[in-house]
Amino acid sequence: MNTDQKLNKLDDFLHTISTETTTGLGGEAGYYVFSYDPKDEMKVRSWTTREIEALRQAHRPVVEFDLYKIMTTLLADKHPRKKYEELETRHGSMTRVVNAANSVLHIGLPMDLMLDYIVEHIPKEDAIILLTGVGKCYPLLRSHKILNDLHDRLAQGIVLMMFPGKYEDGYLYLFGEVKDGNNYRAKPI
């Protein structure tokens, strides 16, 4: 199935889904991954903008969280961008920058700033929560960590990650190549 066909299927899904039909057995939020060919990134971004507007006009509560924008804003709040650039230049390794960013953001810890931001900005009513900007975050942020850790904090709603790559057998493959990690809870769309 090509990206256009998948987007049509996703459109139908988003306009017919309800929180009553997506919550899990334990009453947790419904988690979904929409994977697409990374070369269609700009098409998917444009579609997402139009779809959010269409959902709002249909009185469906929806909120988009661009993970890249959140990450860069939170990192800049802690240290100027130049500091991260100097770290990479000084050590010649992106690994140091990744470790520093994860440390600054407290990724995977109880006070994870990314998750705190998302949870604090979710509307009170059940909403469709779109997670975008996944590819732009690589290698600083791993999408499976966000999904797995968000599951522990979010008990209601619908979470949909727009994922540039493949989602097969519970594994996310960013850009179709980088094995990002396992997420057995999310359902593919």
Domain that holds residue 108: 3-188
pTM of the complete model: 0.86
Pick from 151, 138, 133, 141: nearest CA to 104? 141
pLDDT class of 181 with cuts at 50, 70, 90: low
pLDDT computed for residue 25 by the predictor: 45
CA distance 88 to 91: 5
Identity of the amino acid at 48: T
Q: How many domains does one find in the chain?
A: 1
CA distance 34 to 187: 9
Task: Let me know: does 64 contact 133? Beta carbons within 8 Å.
Answer: no
Residue given tokens 């407290």 in the structure block? 106
Higher-confidence residue of 184 and 122: namely 122
pLDDT computed for residue 131 by the predictor: 95
CA distance 52 to 57: 9
Q: Using one digit for the tens of pLDDT, what is the confidence trace for 138-170?
A: 888 888 788 888 887 777 778 899 999 998 888
- Report CA-CA distances (Å) from 162 to 18, 83, 91, 146: 19, 30, 33, 13
Q: Residue 58 in 3-state DSSP?
A: coil
